[in-house]
């Protein structure tokens, strides 16, 4: 469900957030729902303001019960130093709002705390700020850690590891909450948060660059086992960036990239797995000429990509 646009980014509502909000209103928690929704939007406004300042293009933001997940255009090529402040701006905004509310409750007139609304505002912002600092995807803390780890391991590997960590944490929280409920503890909210976190992290695992690259490697392995796959041949000049070629690929087809000069003479060839390896090793801004001139080392850590080695050239 699309809510509208904010600072150039499309704002979408996760169906679970809509269902949860409707249920909360039906149960008589209308004011609490409105307060949390306002805190959530201001949290995302912090992200979007930082993205505009860092010149990072956010295409859309999907709002979940625990916060929003921003989809950054050209994530693979954005400078890592720009991603971290964007990731941390949301929690910073929420914690700043919580600090203002705490000050107002302590020093403001008693009427400000009437009905507990300002206390609810404090709790909502404090929860959004602290929870989103947990270093797993898709939470903001995981986004910040990914920006750091991507420098060493590549965006795909860092994304996959942190999304798996998010899945594991979500499942652990849900299971722990179920045990707590059985023991008579009031931890249902922890279990609901854990379930949402596991679902959202699972989407990150399935949609990231790592998943696309592993799928490409599996297609090559299927060919080695004698499978017959639909294929596509892409032709490009040596100065074309690797990311441009990667985006031109169609899902579920096996690709070969033929590199030709201005007169149509063939300079070399890469299959889709070698292209992905070159993106990880050289960076997505590198060109096809760079990938051909700098082949991967002979000793490859095959376990990094589930036992499938790299470097094949067609």
Domain end position, chosen among 133, 155, 171: 133
Read off the pLDDT of residues 137-174 as tens digits, 9 standing for 90 and up.
Answer: 989 999 999 888 877 776 777 888 899 999 999 999 99
- Range in 17-21, 33-37, 76-80, 124-128 the model is least confident about: 76-80
Counted domains in the chain: 2
Name the CA dihedral angle for 94, 7, 204, 199, rounded to a multiple of 10 degrees: 60
Is the domain of 125 the same as that of 233? no
Query: Residue 291 domain-assigned?
Result: yes
Residue 64: predicted pLDDT: 77
* Domain end call among 113, 133, 153: 133
pLDDT value, residue 37: 87
By mean pLDDT, which of 33-42, 159-168, 247-256 is the weakest? 247-256
Which CATH number covers residue 284?
Answer: 3.10.580.10
Range 273-281 average pLDDT: 78
Q: Of 156, 163, 262, 143, give the one whose Cα is nearest residue 217.
A: 156
Q: Of the residues 112, 133, 154, which one is the last residue of a structural domain? A: 133
Distances (CA, A) of 57 to 46, 82, 110, 229, 312: 14, 11, 43, 36, 34
Q: Write out pLDDT tens, residues 178-230.
A: 999 888 888 888 888 898 899 888 877 766 655 666 677 777 777 778 888 88
CA distance 285 to 272: 16
> What is the structure's pLDDT at 262?
87
Question: Residue 241 above 80 pLDDT?
Answer: yes
Query: Mean pLDDT across the chain, nearest whole number?
Result: 82
Judge whether 116 lies within some domain: yes
| Residue from 10, 44, 55, 280 carrying the catalytic annotation | 44
Decide if 164 is inside a domain: no
Range of the domain at 98: 1-133
Q: How far apart are CA 58 and CA 65, in angstroms?
A: 20
**Spatial distance between the Cα atoms of 166 and 145, rounded to a whole number of angstroms:** 13
Assess if residue 158 is contained within a domain. no
Q: Is residue 185 part of a domain?
A: no
Domain assignment present for residue 77? The answer is: yes
Q: What is the reported pLDDT for 129?
A: 94
Contacts of 81 (CB under 8 A, 6+ apart): 147
Catalytic site residue 10?
no
Full strand arrangement of the beta sheet holding 231-236: 231-236, 254-260, 266-271
Residue 196 in domain = no
Nearest-angstrom CA–CA distance, 234 and 56: 30
């Amino acid at each position: 469900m699309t809510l509208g646009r904010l600072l150039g980014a499309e704002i979408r509502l996760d169906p679970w957030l809509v269902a949860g909000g409707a249920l909360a209103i039906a149960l008589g928690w209308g004011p609490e729902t409105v307060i949390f929704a306002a805190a959530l939007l201001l949290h995302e406004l912090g992200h979007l303001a930082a993205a505009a300042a860092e010149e990072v293009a956010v295409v859309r933001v999907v709002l979940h019960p625990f916060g929003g997940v921003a989809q950054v255009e050209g994530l693979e090529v954005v400078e890592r130093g720009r991603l971290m402040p964007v990731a941390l701006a949301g929690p910073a905004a929420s914690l700043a709002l919580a600090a203002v509310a705490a000050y107002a409750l302590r020093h403001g007139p008693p009427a400000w705390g009437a009905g507990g609304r300002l206390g609810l505002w404090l709790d909502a912002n404090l929860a959004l700020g602290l929870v989103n600092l947990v270093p797993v995807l898709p939470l903001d803390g995981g986004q910040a850690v990914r920006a750091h780890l991507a420098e060493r391991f590549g965006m795909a590997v860092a994304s996959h590891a942190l999304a798996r960590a998010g899945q594991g944490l979500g499942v652990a929280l849900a299971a722990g909450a179920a045990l707590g409920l059985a023991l008579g503890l009031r931890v249902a909210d922890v279990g609901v948060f854990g379930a949402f976190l596991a679902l959202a992290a699972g989407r990150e695992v399935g949609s990231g660059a790592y998943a696309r690259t592993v799928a490409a490697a599996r297609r090559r392995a299927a060919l080695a086992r004698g499978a017959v796959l639909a294929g596509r041949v892409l032709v490009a000049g040596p100065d074309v960036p690797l990311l441009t070629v990667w985006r031109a690929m169609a899902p579920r087809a096996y690709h070969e990239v033929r590199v030709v000069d201005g007169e149509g003479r063939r300079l070399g060839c890469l299959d889709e797995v070698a292209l992905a390896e070159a993106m990880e090793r050289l960076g997505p801004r590198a060109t096809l000429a760079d990938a051909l001139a700098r082949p991967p080392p002979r000793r490859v850590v095959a376990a990094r990509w589930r036992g499938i080695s790299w470097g094949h050239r067609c």
